Structures are given as C-alpha cells and as structure tokens.
C-alpha cells in the first residue's frame, strides 16, 4: 500500500511537470506567431504611410509591437510564465 501511495505521488508530480512544460511551449508558440504577425504589420504600416512622417522606423515600430505583445501575454498568463 505504501509503495502504491509513493508511486501515485511521483506520478502526480510527473504529470504536473509535463503539464507545465506543455503550457510553456504553448505560450512560446503564441508569442512566436504574434511576433511574426507584428513583422508583417510593421512592414505594412511603414510601407503604406502610417508612420512615414513620425519618428518610427520599421525596427522601432516592430520593437514597440513586440514589447506590447510580450507584456500582454505575461499579464494574461502570469502564473504560467
């Protein structure tokens, strides 16, 4: 009986470990996909004149979009990151 209890405890810890890994991989994929979308958005905004007269360049706009993406995902999934 004690052996079964110990095995159950270790299985519980192991399942929590794998759950945490899957959550972190999922969040990483979300960030990667949004950063890829941010590249396209920044390119379109600079190319079509949204930011031609302002102080933003493609790279500064992309950095700002990526900072917002990471901060929003961190806020939303604070316990998982």
pLDDT tens, 19-77? 999 999 999 999 999 999 999 999 998 888 776 666 778 899 999 999 999 999 989 98
Q: How far is residue 47's CA from residue 58's CA, in Å, rounded to a whole number? A: 9
Q: In this structure, is residue 26 part of a structural domain?
A: yes
Residue 8 domain flag = no
Question: Contact, 30 vs 70, CB < 8 A?
Answer: no
The verdict on residue 81 lying in a domain is no
37: Cβ–Cβ under 8 A, 6 or more apart, which residues?
none
Residue 52, domain member (yes or no): yes
What global pTM score does this model have?
0.73
Domain that includes residue 47, residue range: 21-76
Is the distance from CB of 41 to CB of 64 less than 8 angstroms?
no
| Band of pLDDT at residue 10, cut at 50, 70 and 90 | confident
In a domain, 5, yes or no: no
- Number of compact structural domains in the chain: 1
Question: 3-class SS at 26?
Answer: helix
């Amino acid at each position: 009986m004690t052996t079964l209890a110990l095995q159950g405890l270790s299985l519980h810890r192991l399942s929590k470990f794998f759950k945490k890994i899957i959550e972190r991989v999922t969040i990483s994929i979300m960030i990667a996909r949004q950063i890829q979308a941010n590249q396209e958005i920044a390119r379109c905004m600079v190319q079509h004149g949204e930011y031609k007269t302002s102080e933003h360049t493609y790279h500064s706009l992309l950095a700002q979009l990526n900072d917002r993406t990471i901060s929003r995902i961190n806020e939303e999934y604070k316990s998982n990151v």
